[in-house]
Chains A and B, each alone.
Chain A
Amino acid sequence: MKFRDQTDMGGTRGGFLTTHWSLIEDVKAGSDKNGALIGLLLHTYWKPVYCYLRHKGRDNEQAKDLTQDFFHEVVLNRHLVGRADKDKGQFRSFLLYALNQYLINRDRDQRAQKRIPRERLASLDIAELPDLPLSFAQATAEDSYHYAWLSALLERVTAEVKTACQEQGMENHWALFHERVLQPILGNSDPASLTQLCENLGIGDTKKASNMIVTVKRRFRSVLMELVRNTVVSEGQAREELEYLLQFLPENAQRPE
């Protein structure tokens, strides 16, 4: 999956330094710039919503449309936002809650559609649809949602780390991490031999290479924490959130050795 760094609506990464909750607070306060917010949310979170809808039985096009409409709804319909329970702390839960509310309202009242501007403020350009693993074929819609949430989060972390490496001239760091950690974990390939990698990349010794990998791993960790933090209210909740993500679907959860 290729990560897109820009959205049409200018939802740059800089905008993500604030937490999503503060975005939502902005909406409540009426100080949002609708288009930008929708674009930002849509860009970052369409996949979980889309996967959820697919698992709820919507077909591809329906799910795409609903996803888009939903984000408009979340941002534009202040009532919905107003009812979101910030104390629960997770943006992930809020989004799912809001999505369910939206679906209920929509089913009950087809006119809901009329509230959404005909010209959508931010459009969803879905060229590549998210894939779910085969083991999710029988999963519930909620599980799919959480899975996609997690995947999107990790994809984002990966992309940010990669960009950061490249911007700082740490291409070799990234290459090492990519070959030795990322790809093997994802099951795409066996870890390349460190010696061979060193040779290819012109790195003096494997010790140095190992350290380079550790550097990227740490960075990966910190970006991950930062992004998780963005979706919750407090640091404590960030840990909880991470814990939750590690634990959901207990039957599938295999803690790393």
Chain B
Amino acid sequence: MLELEHVWKSYRIGALGSKRLTAVRDVSFQIAPGEVLSVVGESGSGKTTIGKMVLQLASVTRGTIRLDGADVTARGHRERKAYYRRVQGVFQDPFSSYNPIFKADRVLETVRESYFPRTGRGEWNEKVENSLQAVRLDPGSVLGKYPHQLSGGQLQRMLIARALLLDIEVLVADEIISMLDASTRIDVLNLLGELKERGLGVLFITHDLSLANYISERVVIMRHGAVVETGATGTVFGDPRHPYSRNLLASVPQLHRKWSDDPATPQELEPDGDRSVDPPPLTRVGEQHWVAAHP
């Protein structure tokens, strides 16, 4: 169980860190094993920053992140390395996730170097093959290739295979399919579903509502660094209460609707204000449904 409790993140910017930019404001949620939680929001809403904080690639300014009750924020290198055995991430751009001058399977080899230095070569190769097969990749056709010789979908699946080499409990998937083409998207998405079945908690970060609806049980909608609406996916998408959520849902292009039919006019929203103050509190509006106060 991964829990975020009143997490804030502000970056220092400008000369000598004189200014601050608050990216995440007072965000709390949990991910249970075997659950996919989607974090949805526009660019700059702080969703990627949340993923980075969970992966400890960015420090937490205020608040705590707990894994099975133990605080995991800001620890030493040794503890962090142990943490990465249980929590792993896959990023948006498959081509940037691989060092272009090395072969792609080096990402698997470095895992062995760091975590399984004593595992024998034969045993390791078997482990690699198993995890590649678990993500439905043919070991023969992806091992020993350079990243530019593989497709985006293959590369993303190989990164998931890399995460599976460790005994992970939580996977942070930051826009992992937004750079893939339509036909491979659904494969990777279904793969996440299978991981969920295996008892993995997945933090699915996306800007695409239909993907969030497809894969996740619960959803968190973010805007300007704060949560505006959260709850069970069906409830939130079926009955959006916050005007921002309604705009988001209305802006999803649908297969059987044309632009010329009825261009939806989005509702006016309050502009981005002072981010250092507490965001509007969430109130419970139904079973498994919370929404932020709005004018």
State yes or no: do A and B come from one complex.
Answer: no
B residues contacting A by CB (< 8 A) are none
A residues contacting B by CB (< 8 A) are none
